[in-house]
Chain A
Amino acid sequence: MDQVRYEAPNSLDAAVGLLSGSDGMAKIFAGGTDVMVQIHSDLIEPDLIVNVKNIPELTGITHSNGSFTVGAATPVVEMQEHKEFCKTWPGVIEGAELIGSVQVKGRSTIVGNLCNASPAADSVPPCIAAGATVRIVGPNGERQAAVEDIVLGPRKTSLEKGEIIVSTTFPARPPHSGDCYLRLTPRTEMDIAIVGAGVNLTLDDAGTCIAARVSLGAVAPRFLLVKECADALIGSKVDDEALAAMAKAASAAADPISDKRGTKEYRIKTAAVMARRAAEKALERAREN
C-alpha cells in the first residue's frame, strides 16, 4: 500500500469536504474495529483515512425531552456507562454489548456496526425495533433516515459518496414500554449470530399492546422489520396466542442462507424461538415501567 493520507478534522464540514473531494477510496474511521481488520487483511487499500473522533457532533450522548442522541463516534463502552440510556433502552444495550470483547467495545460504535453492513450485526435489530433514526450530512446537505433504510445488503449501504452518519436518535419512550434483543450463536461469547431478534413494544394502562416493532438479523441479506410480527402483537394482551402468531410470522419472514454456523432450516425455525423469547422479555420490561 502506498501514499495513504490520514486526516483528523475538527468539523463536519471539513470531513465532508475531504470525503467528497477524494478521488480514490476514502474511509471513515471511528472505532476502527472493522477498518483496521480490512486494511490488515488487504481487503481494502484506502487512499484516505478520515478519523472522525475529533468532530464534536459525533461524540457523546445527549438526552433531551426523553429522546437520546448518540454521536456516531461514541464507543459502545460509553453507552454502557450511561445509566439513563441503559435503563431506557436495555434491548439496544443488549445488542451493542454483543459487538465484541471489552477491548473492542472500548472503540467500536453502533454506527460502525451499522455501516459495516453485515446482516448479522447485533446492534442493528434493536435499533430498528427502537424506531431509531440517523442524521446524515453530506455534500448536498443534511437528511434523516430510519436505521432500517441504511443497509441494502451485505457490505452495501444507502449512503452516497461523501456522506457521514453524524448521530443516532432514539425517540422518547411512552410509559409501559420495553425492548429486548436476543441472539443465537454456536458459542456463548465472541461469535456471530445465526439469528438475532429485537422487539420493542408499548402497552396501554390495561396491558393491551398499542405499538410494536420486531426486527430480525442474520436471516436475510438485509435486516428485516417484520410488520406481520408487529400486527400479531398490536391490539392483543401479548398472550400465548399473540406470541405464537408473532413467532410464526417471524419464521415466515426469514429468508436465510445456510452456512457453517447454521442451516437455512435451522435459522427459519429458531427465528420464531428468538423472536418469541425477546417479545416475552420486552413485555416483562414494559410491565415494569
Chain B
Amino acid sequence: MAKAHVTTTINGDEYEFLCEPQQSLVDVLRNELRLSGTKEGCSTGDCGACSVMMDGRLVCSCLVLAVEAEGKEVETIEGMGTADDLHPLQKRFLEINGLQCGICTPGILVAAKALLEENDNPTESEIRYWLAGNLCRCTGYDKVIRSVQAAAEDMRKG
C-alpha cells in the first residue's frame, strides 16, 4: 500500500507528512519531521519519554499511529518554551536539578504541564501518581517532584 498522507497541527503549525500505516507518531516526529525533543525509550508505553499532547490529552506517542494525527492538534516539548523564554517548569527543573541525563525530561515536562493545567496545587503524592508513567533512571524522582512543586507555586503567583 502506498504511504499515507497526513495533515496535522503540531505546536500550532500545520505539518504534512507521508508515513507507513504502522509507523508510530514518535517515529514520525523524530525521524521524518526532525522534532527530536520527544524521546523514545521503550516503544511500549512504559517509560513516558515520548509523552505528547494530542487534542488536549496526554498520550504516549509511541502508542499512537502517525496516521491518527490526521486533523489533530499535537503539542510536543518544542512548543513549550524557547531558549530565551523558558516555561516555569523548565526554569525550575534547571535550577533544582530536576534532570541529569535529560532523556526522561521532555516527557516529564509535557506530563507535568498537563497536570498543572488540571490542578494548580498538586500534593507530592498527586504528582507522584500522575508521573507514575514517566520513568527516570537518574534523579531518583525527588528533585523532579520538587521542581514541579516549585513551578506550580511560580505559576500560581503568575
A5 to B65, CA, bound (A): 13
Interface size on B, residues (CB 8 A): 29
Q: Is the interface of B mostly helix, strand, loop or mixed?
A: mixed
Query: B116 near A: Cβ within 8 Å?
Result: no
Q: Number of A residues whose C-beta is below 8 Å from B? A: 30
Q: A106, B59: Cβ atoms under 8 Å?
A: yes
Evaluate whether A36 and B63 lie within 8 angstroms (CB atoms) in the complex, with A6-B21, A104-B45 already known: yes
- Is there contact, CB below 8 Å, between A106 and B57? yes
Q: Which of B91-99, B128-136, B147-155 contacts A (4 or more CB under 8 A)?
A: B128-136
Check if A40 sits within 8 Å of B24, measured CB to CB: yes
Question: Does B64 belong to the interface (CB within 8 Å)?
Answer: yes
Which residues on B sit within 8 Å (CB–CB) of A46? 22
Cβ proximity bits A46-86 to B, threshold 8 Å, 1 near / 0 not: 10010101000000000000000000000101000000000
Q: Tell me the minimal C-beta distance from A237 to chain B in angstroms.
A: 36
| Of the residues A4, A75, A103, A106, contact of B21 by C-beta under 8 Å | A4
The 9 closest A-B pairs by CB, nearest first: A101-B133, A6-B21, A106-B57, A189-B132, A36-B63, A103-B60, A37-B44, A4-B21, A106-B59
A positions within 8 Å CB-CB of B? 1, 3-6, 8, 29, 31-33, 36-37, 39-41, 46, 49, 51, 53, 75, 77, 100-104, 106-107, 189-190
**Which residues from chain B sit less than 8 Å from chain A, CB to CB?**
1, 4, 20-22, 24, 43-46, 48, 51, 57-60, 62-65, 67-68, 111, 114, 129-130, 132-134
Beyond the given pairs A5-B21, A36-B44, 6 more chain A to chain B contacts, judged by CB atoms under 8 angstroms and listed by A's residue number, are: A8-B67, A40-B24, A49-B22, A100-B45, A101-B133, A101-B134
